[in-house]
Amino acid sequence: MLFALLRRHDRIVYSSTVHGYEGAGRGFSVRFLRRLRQLKSAEVVEYEMGEPVRYAEGDPVEEWAFDTLLLDAEPAPISDEDLRCVKAGEVEYWIPNLEEFFLKDEKSLREFFGIYIMAHYRNNPNDLGMMMDAPHHRPRALKLKTGKIVVSIELAEEGPLDEELAKQCSKGAWIMGNIIPDRIIKHYKLIDFGSFKGLRIVRIATHPDLWGMGLGSRALKEVEKEAAAEGYDWVGAGFGVTLELLNFWLKNGYLPVHLSPERNPVSGEYSSLVVKPLNERAEKYVKVVALEFKRRLLSSLAEPYHDLSPKVTRALLKSTPGYPAQPALTVFQVGRLVSYAWGDMTLENCMDCMVELAKAYFMGNQGFLSEEQELLLITKVLQAKSWRVACTELDMPPPKAMELLRSAAKAMCAQLLGVTNEEEGARYLFLSLETAKK
């Protein structure tokens, strides 16, 4: 969203706090500013205000609060030896003794929480309290042999729910502390899913100096191994969906099962839920839910997901299970499609036909179109955006976009309808009521 604003305006001012009494987070400075500085097309001027707004300079109460609530925590510094350990895979999955961790090992606790502060946009003192007090929350970490924490993980146990509670949930009751079962039961009415128990990854973050080195994926595998050994049915997560984050979960075998209809007011992103089943019974349920999610998403892109990133949409659609789908078209609609694909009819005059073709294409996990054509199907056809908006989002000249979509129509006619050329399509151009019935 921040980069989208930059693309729309010649000059723009971004402002963010790093520390505040309500929490702390350096996701803006660590993630966003790092990428912003790398842009050759943007001249970045930075200002920093260090004078406190709410406290006097050096106020002892503020210093006490920051120290006690770990709002000034920092991750461990990374040395060359630490890098060597990471590259050699010399890391271990750490299950801390909670009493030792929270009461006697402040060094590890600060390293653990410092990674969250660097990685996330906002950290609240309640996050620490939740990990310390909630019996269903548990911290985990990846540590180097030097003892330094390089990945911080917070897990929450969810489920099982008894049948009566699952039925209440299906009718609209909010089941506290069970986000994934709650959403699946509410939106898909599968009350049996309540019988499963799983681990939701509340937060997982890698040391900012070690991003892109496979530590996050390694941590997930360790969590899954622990969950399977303890008899859990699934591992899942919820997050503000971006292409980078989504690809991380997808490459590790997680399936999308839910997308919020509104953007999160804090992250500015749609909230997504992903689940990875750990046994055959759970796998059957998760695949059914993921397929239904895909069907729902395909029919909801014009509203409420009109402004969902086309690349995120494509990743969601192509990662979910599919089945061979036949477009529900009448012969009259096929006639208009032929006139568009091989004639001079405009897209606007057969948008209803293209919507059906696009749904069948993505529902069946077809792959005969190029990435550019798939993105055009999403933006122009399924999200119903104007040519100007679609071409701006895809950074594509309108003539090229129009030609690509027309060629996509020809390919879909051939692959999905069996109409491979203009000559074969001619039979749909000269219809009578008698021939239309056949």
The phi, psi pair for 424, rounded to 5°, reads -65, -30
Burial annotation 312-327 (CB, 10 A radius, 16+ → b, else e): bbbbbbbbbbbeebeb
Mean of per-residue pLDDT scores for the chain: 91
pLDDT at position 20 over 70:
no
Give the pLDDT confidence score for residue 122 in this predicted structure. Answer: 65
Q: Could you report the per-residue pLDDT of 267-295, keeping only the tens digit for each?
A: 778 999 999 999 999 999 999 999 999 99
Cα(6)–Cα(8) distance, integer angstroms? 5
Q: Could you report the per-residue pLDDT of 318-366, keeping only the tens digit for each?
A: 999 988 889 999 999 999 999 999 999 999 999 999 999 999 999 999 9
pLDDT at position 121 over 80:
no
Q: Answer whether residue 33 is part of any domain.
A: yes
Share of the chain above pLDDT 90, in %: 70
Q: Could you report the per-residue pLDDT of 358-391, keeping only the tens digit for each?
A: 999 999 999 999 999 999 999 999 999 999 999 9
Q: Could you report the per-residue pLDDT of 52-73, keeping only the tens digit for each?
A: 777 788 889 888 888 888 888 8
Band (18; pLDDT cuts 50, 70, 90): low
Of 157, 192, 212, at which residue does a domain stop?
157
Which position has the higher pLDDT, 334 or 17?
A: 334
Bridging pattern class, strands 234-240 and 270-277:
antiparallel
CB 233 within 8 A of CB 198: yes
Of 157, 183, 209, at which residue does a domain stop?
157
Question: Cα–Cα distances in Å, from 12 out to 6, 9, 42, 44, 168?
Answer: 7, 6, 11, 10, 48
Q: Answer whether residue 266 is part of any domain.
A: no
pLDDT at position 304 over 90:
yes
Please name which of 236, 91, 217 lies closest in space to residue 155, comparing C-alpha atoms: 236
Cα(203)–Cα(122) distance, integer angstroms? 12
Give the pLDDT confidence score for residue 24 in this predicted structure. Answer: 53
For the whole model, what pTM was predicted?
0.90
pLDDT at position 130 over 70:
yes
Of 88, 122, 157, at which residue does a domain stop?
157
Band (258; pLDDT cuts 50, 70, 90): very high
Average pLDDT over residues 181-192: 97
CB 23 within 8 A of CB 71: yes
Give the pLDDT confidence score for residue 128 in this predicted structure. Answer: 83
Q: Answer whether residue 123 is part of any domain.
A: yes
pLDDT at position 403 over 90:
yes
Average pLDDT over residues 70-91: 92
Average pLDDT over residues 209-220: 95
Burial annotation 220-231 (CB, 10 A radius, 16+ → b, else e): bebbbebbeeee
Structure tokens at 272: 């997504």
Residue with structure tokens 């925590």? 73
Q: How many domains does the chain have?
A: 2
Give the pLDDT confidence score for residue 22 in this predicted structure. Answer: 53
CB 270 within 8 A of CB 264: yes
Please name which of 306, 413, 304 lies closest in space to residue 368, comparing C-alpha atoms: 413
pLDDT at position 27 over 70:
no
Q: Answer whether residue 196 is part of any domain.
A: no
Share of the chain above pLDDT 70, in %: 95
Give the pLDDT confidence score for residue 191 in this predicted structure. Answer: 96
Q: Answer whether residue 351 is part of any domain.
A: yes
Cα(308)–Cα(242) distance, integer angstroms? 10
Give the pLDDT confidence score for residue 302 in this predicted structure. Answer: 96
Q: Answer whether residue 281 is part of any domain.
A: no
Q: Answer whether residue 405 is part of any domain.
A: yes
Task: Pick the range with the lowest mean pLDDT from 157-161, 232-236, 262-266.
Answer: 262-266
pLDDT at position 180 over 70:
yes
Average pLDDT over residues 197-215: 95
Give the pLDDT confidence score for residue 19 in this predicted structure. Answer: 64
Q: Answer whether residue 296 is part of any domain.
A: no
Cα(118)–Cα(72) distance, integer angstroms? 10
HEC secondary structure over the chain:
CHHHHHHHCCCCCCCCCCEECCEECCHHHHHHHHHHHHCCCCCCCCCCCCCCCCCCCCCHHHHHHHHHCCCCCCCCCCCHHHHHHHHCCCEEEECCCHHHHHHCCHHHHHHHHHHHHHHCCCECHHHHHHHHHCCCEEEEEEEECCCCEEEEEEEEEECCCCHHHHHHHHCCCCCCCCHHHHHHHHHHCCHHHHHCCEEEEEEEEECHHHCCCCHHHHHHHHHHHHHHHCCCCEEEEEEECCHHHHHHHHHCCCEEEEEEEEECCCCCCEEEEEEEECCHHHHHHHHHHHHHHHHHHHCCCCCCCCCCCHHHHHHHHHHCCCCCCCCCCCHHHHHHHHHHHHCCCCHHHHHHHHHHHHHHHHHCCCCCCCHHHHHHHHHHHHCCCCHHHHHHHHCCCHHHHHHHHHHHHHHHHHHHHCCCCHHHHHHHCCCCHHHHHC
pLDDT at position 25 over 70:
no
| Angle of CA points 318, 321, 327, to nearest 5° | 80
Write out the residue range of the structural domain in which residue 22 sits.
1-157
Give the pLDDT confidence score for residue 51 in this predicted structure. Answer: 78
